Amino acid sequence: MTAEVCQRCLDPFFTTKGERGNGLGLEMVYGIIQRSDGTIDVASELDKGTTFTIRLPSDTHVPTDSQLPQDTEASDALRILAVDDDAATLRSLGRMLRALSHSVDLAASGGEGLDKFRREKCDLVVTDRAMPDMNGDQLADAIKELVSDQPVIMLTRLGNMTGTAEKPQGVDLVLGKPVTMNMLRQALLNIQPQEAL
- Reported as a single tens digit per residue, the pLDDT across 97-146 is 998 889 999 999 999 999 999 999 899 999 999 898 899 999 999 999 99
Q: Is residue 29 part of a domain?
A: yes
168 and 77, same structural domain? yes
Q: Is residue 12 part of a domain?
A: yes
Domain of residue 11, residue span: 3-55
Q: Is residue 60 part of a domain?
A: no
72 and 10, same structural domain? no
Q: Is residue 147 part of a domain?
A: yes
pLDDT at 75 over 70: no
Nearest to 59 by CA among 183, 184, 178, 154: 178
92 and 178, same structural domain? yes
Indicate which CATH number applies to the domain containing 104: 3.40.50.2300
pTM of this prediction?
0.62
Q: Is the C-alpha dihedral spanning 116, 79, 67, 185 positive or negative? A: positive
Q: Per-residue confidence at 12, pLDDT binned at 50, 70, 90?
A: low
79 and 47, same structural domain? no
171 and 190, same structural domain? yes
129 and 41, same structural domain? no
192 and 95, same structural domain? yes
Q: Is residue 161 part of a domain?
A: yes
What is the arithmetic mean of pLDDT over 167-177? 86
35 and 121, same structural domain? no
- Classify strands 124-128 and 152-156 as parallel, antiparallel or unpaired: parallel
Burial 111-120 (b: 16+ CB within 10 A, else e): bbbbebbeee
Q: Is residue 106 part of a domain?
A: yes
Number of domains in the chain: 2
79 and 9, same structural domain? no
pLDDT of residue 194: 42
Q: What is the dihedral of CA 182, 173, 33, 111, to 10 degrees?
A: 110
DSSP per residue, the chain: --HHHHHHTTSTT--SSGGG--S-HHHHHHHHHHHTT-EEEEEEETTTEEEEEEE-----PPPPGGGSPP-TT--S--EEEEE-S-HHHHHHHHHHHHHTT-EEEEESSHHHHHHHHHHS--SEEEEES--SSS-HHHHHHHHHHH-TT--EEEEESSS---STTTSPTT-SEEEESSP-HHHHHHHHHHH--GGG-
Percent of the residues in the chain that have a pLDDT greater than 70, as a whole number: 78
Q: Is residue 183 part of a domain?
A: yes
